[in-house]
Amino acid sequence: MGNRLDNMTVEELNAELKRLKDNLCDLENMHSFTFEKTSVHIGSERAQNMQVEFEEECRLISERITKIEEELKARH
């Protein structure tokens, strides 16, 4: 996710935005399945670590989505 937005075309920005939104959706679905729809036992420490990792990854993806949306608005 290190691409500089100002070096990307509008088409590249739109493609990156779609990719990130898809990734965020997949991540949320995987998290939901792991913690809500299975009966697999996960130790509390591991579950807490997974939750922290999930929240951090979602935050990073959401920040990148916001930056891309702002860049697209600035170009229109």
Residue 47 has pLDDT above 60, yes or no: yes
How far CA 54 is from CA of 32, 62, 75, in Å, comes to 11, 12, 32
Percent of the chain whose pLDDT exceeds 90: 63
Residue 1 has pLDDT above 90, yes or no: no
Per-residue pLDDT, 76? 84
Side-chain-facing half-sphere of 37: CA atoms under 13 Å = 7
Query: What is the DSSP track for 35-62?
Result: HHS------HHHHHHHHHHHHHHHHHHH
Q: What is the per-residue pLDDT across 13-40, written as a single tens digit (0 to 9) for each?
A: 999 999 999 999 999 998 888 777 666 6
